[in-house]
Amino acid sequence: MIRAPVEYSTITSVKGPLIVVEGTRGDVGWDEFAQIRLASGEVRHGVVLEVDHDLAVVQVMEGTAGLDPRASRIGFVGRPLAIPVTEAWLGRECNGRGDPIDGGPPILSNVAREVTGFAINPARRDTPSEPVITGVSVVDALTTVVRGQKLPIFSVGGLPHLELAVQIAAQARVGDAPFRVVFGAMGITHADVAAVRAGLQEREAAGELVLIINTAADPVVERLLTPRLALTIAEHLAFDLGFHVLVVLVDMTNYCEALREIAAARGDVPTRGGYPGYLYSDLASIYERCGRIRDRPGSITEIPVLTMPGGDITHPVPDMSGYITEGQLVLSADAWARGIYPPVDVLPSLSRLMRRGTGAGKTRADHPAIAAQLYASLAQAQRAREMAELLGVAALSPTDRRYLDLGDAFERQLMTQGMAESRTIEETLERAWGVASILPQRELTKVSRSQIEAFYQPGGRGGPEPGGGGAPETAPGLGQG
Amino acid sequence: MALKGWARAQAGPQATAPGAASGRIESPVTVEGTIVRVNGPMVEIEGLAGVSLADLVEVGPGRLPGEVTGIRGAIMTAQVYEYTGGLRVGDQATSDRQPLSVRLGPGLIGGVFDGLLRPLARAPDFLSPGAFAGTAAHGSEAEFRPSGRVGSLVSGGAVLGRVRESLAIDQAIQVPPGIAGELRHLALAGRYAPDAVIAQVADVDVRLSSLWPVRRPRPFAERLDLEAPLATGQRVLDLFFPLTRGSTAAVPGGFGTGKTILLEQIAKWCDADVIVYVGCGERGNEMSDALSELRELVDPRTGRPLLERTVIIANTSNMPVMARELSIYTGITVAEFYRDMGFDAVVIADSTSRWAEALRESASRTGALPVEEGYPAELPSQLAAFYERAGRLRTLGGGDATVSIIASVSPPGGDKTEPVTSHTRRFVRTYWSLDRDLAAARHYPSVSWRDSFARDASRLGVWHAANGDPNWLGRRGQAMAILAQADRLQSVAELIGAASLPDPERVVLLTARLLHEAVLQQSAVSNNDAYCAPAKQAALLDLVLAVHARCLDLVGQGVHASELEEVDLSGAARARDEVGRDDAAAVGTIRDSILGRLAGLAP
Ligand SMILES: Nc1ncnc2c1ncn2[C@@H]1O[C@H](COP(=O)(O)OP(=O)(O)O)[C@@H](O)[C@H]1O
Ligand SMILES: [Mg+2]
């Protein structure tokens, strides 16, 4: 499949990560993969960005530092970058170029797939409609993850987004079906990588995990490949082998910054925030690789994690992501400062596919209604809190004071949870009704009268106390606010 | 002009040579060229003598389709509609010198197509280049029922026969625009392939399916005045910001504010004959969801699945970017095709921002000067020209038909002053602005009553008055006034507390809340409320206005507003969900019981 590379010693210029090769006319195709041999014998890798008459512009992944154009040779392999796909990836770790870094043997397969992938035919997609139970109450109750969904975590530096992503990756289940995790790390610190390894130890030991790691110290260009490797492996596991696969990608902001860096070096027209106009399409080529396909048993669910620069949700990275993904889980610096884990900002959070993945036969019949009720009530609670801050609690009507109580109870009884605590969906929904029951029945217009009869907890303080299903660990973040 | 374009289109590469009945057909002249540069989807070709802008070219060994977007001396720039990986300098390019066209004919209704109108149902699971090879030529046969009279004089738009597309759509097979003369031959009833010749007009063969260049509006006889509403079954639209049949509407809103759901609701429930739904650079899962819902849901007007009046064009965000730009034009061309048969067609496009971004990307690759946020100077004129393809028209065949355009806009950062949103606002007649705060509070649809507009509201008031609802405009005015006053009072209340407001003003706040819950909010997933018939819409609004009047009465009689605020009005808020979709009478019963309860408070 990979032909003997045609070699050239005609590299004529170097600019940033780009080199120009002369005399390639007719031999080199756009988007082809290349190998560059330096005088020292070191081998670097590149991708063809443009072919123009007898020139080829190549982007060098490891960067061009120390690359002497006159003493280096470049060979083109005749096809885009591809990696072997095989079940043998499970239990392994590699870098952003696909080379193992766990000391194990090379990964071999007679099937290689191009890492950029191809769009799933929208007419062949199956609508995602089964839940992934994460064991995290606030997620399962209000932003249920659905098999085949892409649901990012929007965070800011210093918040426990990595902890939450790892907790979800460790606990997530899809009934009794086999479940696998592919974790792609882009530009994160060694300390964070260690935390990921520790948190996912059990999965790794069970051969349920693939780790693809590009640390902050690794080449920037490989950051662009990392998520594509993860998804190429995941596609094989899901659509060829039938596994349900969760792909976690951390941190997409680092990815986008790498994209911007390369775009600037190429001289692409910058748009908002200096990002190239194709940021949306580029992100879509990653996020849209999840889903389900008719007549194929597996699924790919994606949880990308990104940090919003300046906590600004209108920044191009969260903004473009939000336009592509199927909802978002927004973390709150405010809640974290008050010691709440997981600190989810409920109102801007959303799972767009929740409607399909919840209800009778999926979670429980009353789930969609009680979730809608909590969203509506928490919105009113927020209005009441703002009013109380302006005018004092005394200015609130008796009903609005109940809403204040509901907001507090929600954080204490439903949201707060230990980092290693996994709750069943039944327990989560019990807690949800306990919180809703703080309001008088006439306020509960989003649930049916028969649901009120079945689940309302008279007395209004129902629902287990925090940690009823296992003591939460020490509240994180205390003292940080 | 149309004639020449038509003849060129007819002879296009996809129209394979006809059988024995063929007349004279301009045989296509194929020219060749050589690729000299490849930069993503942008390819430069040397040679190709005589090609024009917008002509179809096929590049490389895979014959990938592309369109000429620039000519500089002997160098043509083309944008290619598939992944160009592996394409080399020196590879061949060919062109028949025909404009890029789509095949219009039987087999569109109920189907899913890509931006070039190629059938996705017959393509494989993954869309690698060449995935569509052969799909275009192999449309299925259709049962043709002739109705023309051989020997008569016919011209563009004349009906030659019919093909039943679905129980809802009996499609006319017409003489294409630009062709006129004696009908010399008409095929007998029977099953024919899409490219079979079914008639001969003067010297020209007419086939069951015909080609049309997507960027060229299809001709019509004359424009007619807009008059009647396009009913959507969505209360906030029909009661407050209505759309006229043949008009244009835009739905701007940040992500998650409800654009797609609103568009899907309209696609499902509006009272048009044909819906062309264009997913332009949006999500694959949404397309499959829409598809399965349209297959399951029944059209209340025909009793048939809604899919039987729908054509879906899906060019998702990860499909080739340049085809996204084309898909909008493909959609409107399909709608015009049905318009020309006399149908009321609606194009729903989600999202035009992705189209504009594709335009920007193509412009930046060809080195066009960026003017606003990287967009080329042609953005406003392109947007205006797109919306101008809507209208109520007298067709060439003499029918009275419409194309309405409803499109979403996705402003970066939710900033509605950005170029695509602000220009769109200038060109549309109805503007449904979605509000992030309302969406976050799960107040759906999150149509802002402050920032939205409907330029045809008074005109539609006249229509409603003439069609049995003289109070339509008055009801709207009163409710809008209450909402505006409540907004003002709310900001006062935030300073001094609602309890310090005079009682009549507290009643306004109470009514506004009821308006939100009982009328403006409408759940897309409710069995009873996803669609709301006009009579139920009016009854719900009347209910709230009646409660308002009764409450004002009561405070006039000395009842305290605080007493009114503690009354359980949840029956009003529940009415929309608990009452059948067209059960106005049941709403009336609920109203009477609430009014009765309120009357009990009178001193
Ligand atoms: N009318 C509605 N009824 C119920 N839920 C809605 C409605 N409109 C929007 N939503 C909710 O909001 C979410 C986002 O809506 P969507 O139309 O996908 O937003 P956008 O296209 O603007 O990004 C949906 O997934 C759904 O949960
Ligand atoms: Mg949308």
One-letter identity of residue A393: V
- pLDDT per residue over A398-447, tens digit each? 889 999 999 999 999 999 999 999 999 999 999 999 999 999 998 998 99
Q: For every residue of B540-577, which 3-state class applies, written as one string?
A: HHHHHHHHHHHHHHHHHCCCCHHHHHCCCCHHHHHHHH
A267 pLDDT above the threshold of 90 = no
> Cβ contact (<8 Å) for B281 and A284?
yes
Q: What is the pLDDT of residue B29?
A: 85
Burial B410-446 (b: 16+ CB within 10 A, else e): bbbbbebebbbbbbbbebbbbbbbbbbebbbbbbbbb
Q: Chain B: nearest CA to A290, how far in angstroms?
A: 9
B16 pLDDT above the threshold of 70 = no
Size (chain B), residues: 603
Q: Is B523 a pocket residue for ligand 1 (Cβ < 6 Å)?
A: yes
**CA atoms of B174 and A112, how far apart (whole Å):** 51
Structure tokens at A341: 């884990």
pLDDT band at B131 (very low <50, low <70, confident <90, very high): confident
A479 pLDDT above the threshold of 50 = no
Report the DSSP beta bridge partners of residue A37.
A43, A73
A45 pLDDT above the threshold of 70 = yes
Q: What percent of chain A has pLDDT over 70?
A: 94
Q: Is B530 a pocket residue for ligand 1 (Cβ < 6 Å)?
A: no
Q: What is the pLDDT of residue B1?
A: 31
Which domains occur in chain A, in start order? 6-80 (2.40.30.20), 83-357 (3.40.50.12240), 367-455 (no CATH)
Q: Which of A1-15, A458-472, B50-64 is the most confident on average?
A: B50-64
Q: What is the pLDDT of residue A465?
A: 43
- A332 phi and psi, to 5 degrees? -115, 120
**CA atoms of B479 and B239, how far apart (whole Å):** 10
pLDDT band at B493 (very low <50, low <70, confident <90, very high): confident
B476 pLDDT above the threshold of 90 = yes
Tell me the CA distances in angstroms from A436 to A429, A442, B525, B567, one per residue in order. 10, 12, 22, 20
CA B5 to centroid of chain Cα atoms = 26
Identify all chain B residues contacting A122, using CB atoms and an 8 Å cutoff.
Answer: 112, 120, 279, 284, 287-288, 314, 316, 319
Give the Cβ contact number of residue B39 at 10 Å: 17
Q: Which of A122, A268, A356 has its CB closest to that of B284?
A: A122
Q: Which of A50, A323, A379 has its CB closest to that of B410?
A: A323
Is the CATH code 1.10.1140.10 the one for domain B472-599? yes
Q: What percent of chain B has pLDDT over 70?
A: 94
pLDDT band at B216 (very low <50, low <70, confident <90, very high): very high
Report the DSSP beta bridge partners of residue B191.
B143
Identify all chain B residues contacting A293, using CB atoms and an 8 Å cutoff.
Answer: 125
Q: What is the pLDDT of residue A200?
A: 96
- pLDDT per residue over A61-109, tens digit each? 888 999 999 999 999 988 899 999 999 999 999 999 899 999 999 999 9
Identify all chain A residues contacting B37, using CB atoms and an 8 Å cutoff.
Answer: 50-53
Q: What is the pLDDT of residue A5?
A: 64
> Cβ contact (<8 Å) for A123 and B314?
yes
pLDDT, chain B, mean = 91
Average pLDDT of the residues in B516-526 = 95
- pLDDT per residue over B300-347, tens digit each? 888 899 999 999 999 999 999 889 999 999 999 999 999 999 999 999
Q: What is the pLDDT of residue B135?
A: 61
> Cβ contact (<8 Å) for B318 and A119?
yes
Determine the distance separating the centroid of ligand 2 and the alpha carbon of B497, expressed in angstroms.
38
B104 pLDDT above the threshold of 90 = yes
Average pLDDT of the residues in B246-268 = 96
Q: Chain B: nearest CA to A149, how far in angstroms?
A: 8
ipTM of the complex: 0.91
Cβ proximity of A289 and A117 under 8 Å? yes
Q: What is the pLDDT of residue B369?
A: 86
B28 pLDDT above the threshold of 90 = no
Average pLDDT of the residues in B434-459 = 95
> Helix, strand, or coil here: B275?
strand
- pLDDT per residue over A100-131, tens digit each? 999 999 999 999 999 999 999 999 999 999 99
DSSP-derived letter for residue B466 is H
Q: What is the pLDDT of residue B134?
A: 65
Closest residue of chain B to A24, computed from CA coordinates: B89
| Domains in chain B: boundaries | 29-97, 222-454, 472-599
Tell me if B222-454 shares its fold with B472-599: no
**CA atoms of B70 and B59, how far apart (whole Å):** 16
CATH T-level fold of B29-97: Elongation Factor Tu (Ef-tu); domain 3 (2.40.30)
> Cβ contact (<8 Å) for A30 and B128?
no
A333 pLDDT above the threshold of 80 = yes
A469 pLDDT above the threshold of 80 = no
Q: What is the pLDDT of residue A61?
A: 81
Identify all chain A residues contacting B254, using CB atoms and an 8 Å cutoff.
Answer: 319, 322
* Helix B379-387, helix B321-339: angle, nearest 10: 30
Average pLDDT of the residues in A142-169 = 97
Closest residue of chain A to B315, computed from CA coordinates: A122
Report the DSSP beta bridge partners of residue B101.
B213
pLDDT band at A472 (very low <50, low <70, confident <90, very high): very low
> Cβ contact (<8 Å) for B39 and A49?
yes
Q: Chain B: nearest CA to A50, how far in angstroms?
A: 5
Radius of gyration of chain A (CA): 25
Q: What is the pLDDT of residue B289?
A: 92
pLDDT band at B7 (very low <50, low <70, confident <90, very high): very low
Q: What percent of chain B has pLDDT over 90?
A: 82
Report the DSSP beta bridge partners of residue B186.
B199
B390 pLDDT above the threshold of 80 = yes
pLDDT, chain A, mean = 91
Q: What is the pLDDT of residue A477?
A: 37
- pLDDT per residue over B415-425, tens digit each? 999 999 999 99
- β A43-52/B31-39 pair status: antiparallel
Q: What is the pLDDT of residue B224?
A: 97
A137 pLDDT above the threshold of 60 = yes
Report the DSSP beta bridge partners of residue A210.
A182
CATH top-level class of B222-454: alpha beta
> Cβ contact (<8 Å) for B440 and A124?
no
